[in-house]
Structure formats: structure tokens, C-alpha cells
Amino acid sequence: EKSFEEFLSYFTLTGGMPAYLLEINPKNSVEDNLKTKILDKKEFLHNEVEFILREELREPRTYLSVLKAISWGKTRASEIINETGLEKNVLFKYLGVLEDLKLITREVPVTEENKLKSKRGIYKISDNFIKIWFQYVYPYKSNLEIGEYSDVMHKFRTGFSILLGHTYEQICSEILKENQKNIFSFEKIGRWWDNNNEIDFIGINSENKQIIFCECKWSNKNIGTNILNDLIEKSKKVDWNNGKRKEKFALFGKSGYTEELMKVARERGDVFLFLKDKLIHSTDA
């Protein structure tokens, strides 16, 4: 029985793909598995992403540069153009193929009515393992060829917790779905952003004009009232059934909550609190 933290680490490393999980040695740490099963040039996982692209595509190099840009946080078309030097119409051809292969997805804020026409679209890597490969294998290929791991292991030790945070956000939306009977039934769940604000995800029910705003924090610090207050402020920027909607809020955390926040949650009656994957405080209504 693995802890939730171990589950999260291995899900981040492999994307939960059964074929990739089979390559991992559960007795070893995530760091050891990265080193022996992904960084080692003789291993199946080391070559997997390039193998997939070569099987499917005629010009894998350009696709690799697009995927690398996205996995390094260049998620808007304009940012990918700047990073890769591709012209706009050419880029959209490549993005379309990568979407068809289910290697990337185009996301728009969950409240947008028309996904295809939305100008707020961003691109995300669909699979956690591909993200890992572009973080720790692709940029260090020449080092790994000669068995030089020190730079990439330093990057892993300093940056893996950020990737865990991104995976936790993905999993939190699934945890929220599993708790619909305690909250309300969602017609859709997704991220929301505008030019200046971002909410990890929102669940909405248009028929009943219900909406829940959610924030996830994979951090060793207890979550305080400042996080809830920030979420409440950001929720006011969301243009959806204004003045008619019924609002709730949810926080997801790794380590717990301050006494002050627990007190505020009890007093407000519209806040759900989750610890890792468990609902620990729900509203009265």
C-alpha cells in the first residue's frame, strides 16, 4: 500500500501508463527510478518519446521543438512562435497534428461558451511522462550519452516538487468529481484564467447556477486565510451568471490548515477543505 505522496510521485513520473509503471522498480525511490529507468540511454523509457514521434511523423525534429517549448511553459501560440521561430500558419499545422496524436490538448477557460472561437486558448502536454522526458532527458541528451548525470539530478532535486504541484492540481479535479454528492453535480470542471488572474479549477452547474472555485497547494506549509481570501478575490473576476450564482469554495492541501482558517471555514459555511485526497471539512448546506 503506497502513501498518497508516493502515488503522486509515480503518477508524475510515468503519467500512470501501465506499460511505463511496469518499467519502474517500486522498491526504489523516485530519484533512483529516474536515474536507472529514464536517464539511462539503454532503457526503453529513455528513447520512448522520440520513438513515438519517429513512428508517427516525418519531421520529428520540428515537433520536438514545439513539444519542448510547451513543456517548458510556453503555452500560448505567440510564446511558442517566439521560442521555435515557426510562422503562425506553420505552427498551427504542427499543433493540429500533435492534438490529433493526443500528445497535447488545447485548453480554454472553463467558463468560455465557444471553445473553438476562444482567443484565450493555451496548449498543454497531455501526458506527465512526456513532460518528465522534456524536463530531464531531452535538454541533457549529450550529457546522458556519456553517463554524466550531475546537472540533471540537480535540476530534479530542485524542481521536481513544482511538477508534483502540477500533478496534484490534475488529481484534485478528479477528487472533486468523486465528491459531487457532498457538493453539487458538475456539468464541467476546468481551469480558469484571464490576463492577470488564474484559478486552479472551477466546477459549474449552469442549470442551477452553482459554481465552486478551487485552489490546490502542494506545500509543506499549512494553508492560511490569505489563500482563501485570494481565491475569493479572484472569484469576483469570473464573469459567469453574475449576481445570480450560488458560490462555494474548496481548498486542497498537502499539510493541513491553520486554526484560523478552520474557524473561518466553519463560520462561512461555503468552504470545503481537502487534505491530500480526503475531504476533511464540508459545508452545512
As a whole number, mean pLDDT of residues 66-70 equals 96
CATH number at residue 76: 1.10.10.10
Answer yes or no: is 53 within a domain: yes
- Whether residues 181 and 120 share a domain: the answer is no
List C-alpha distances in Å: 275 to 4, 179, 203, 217, 239: 11, 13, 19, 10, 29
Cα dihedral across residues 116, 119, 125, 128: positive or negative: negative
Answer yes or no: is 56 within a domain: yes
Note the pLDDT of residue 284.
Answer: 61
How would you class 101 by CB atoms within 10 Å of its CB: exposed for 0-12, middle for 13-18, buried for 19 or more? middle
Picking from 239, 20, 3, 200, the residue whose alpha carbon sits closest to that of residue 127 is: 20
Note down the domain range covering 227.
170-281
- For residue 39, pLDDT over 70 is answered with yes
Cβ distance 15 to 129 under 8 Å? yes
The string of pLDDT tens digits covering residues 161-202 is 999 999 999 999 999 999 999 999 999 999 999 999 999 999
Query: Which residue bears the cell 481548498?
Result: 251
- Whether residues 186 and 112 share a domain: the answer is no
- Whether residues 8 and 103 share a domain: the answer is yes
Kindly give the pairing relationship between strand 198-205 and strand 210-217.
Answer: antiparallel
Sheet holding 278-281, edge to edge: 188-193, 198-205, 210-217, 246-253, 271-275, 278-281
Structural domain count, the chain: 2
3-state secondary structure of 22: coil
Among the candidates 116, 147, 178, a domain finishes at 147
- Whether residues 111 and 176 share a domain: the answer is no
- pLDDT band of residue 116 (cuts 50, 70, 90) is confident
Rounded CA separation 189/34 (Å): 32
CATH number at residue 259: 3.40.1350.10
Query: Which residue bears the cell 509515480?
Result: 10
- Whether residues 133 and 184 share a domain: the answer is no
Query: Which residue bears the cell 468523486?
Result: 178
- For residue 285, pLDDT over 80 is answered with no
Answer yes or no: is 152 within a domain: no
Answer yes or no: is 159 within a domain: no
- For residue 283, pLDDT over 90 is answered with no
Mean pLDDT of the residues in the chain: 94
Rounded CA separation 106/19 (Å): 26
Note the pLDDT of residue 1.
Answer: 53
Higher pLDDT, 55 or 58: 55
Instruction: List, in order, residues 6 or more apart from 240 with CB less than 8 Å away.
Output: 111, 204, 211
C-alpha cell at 150: 550531475
Answer yes or no: is 156 within a domain: no
The string of pLDDT tens digits covering residues 124-153 is 999 999 999 999 999 999 999 999 999 999
Note the pLDDT of residue 114.
Answer: 85
- Whether residues 253 and 199 share a domain: the answer is yes
Burial track 143-162 (b if 16+ CB lie within 10 A, e otherwise): ebeeeebeebeeebeeebee
pTM: predicted TM-score of the whole model, two decimal places? 0.92
Rounded CA separation 223/3 (Å): 21
- pLDDT band of residue 261 (cuts 50, 70, 90) is very high
Answer yes or no: is 155 within a domain: no
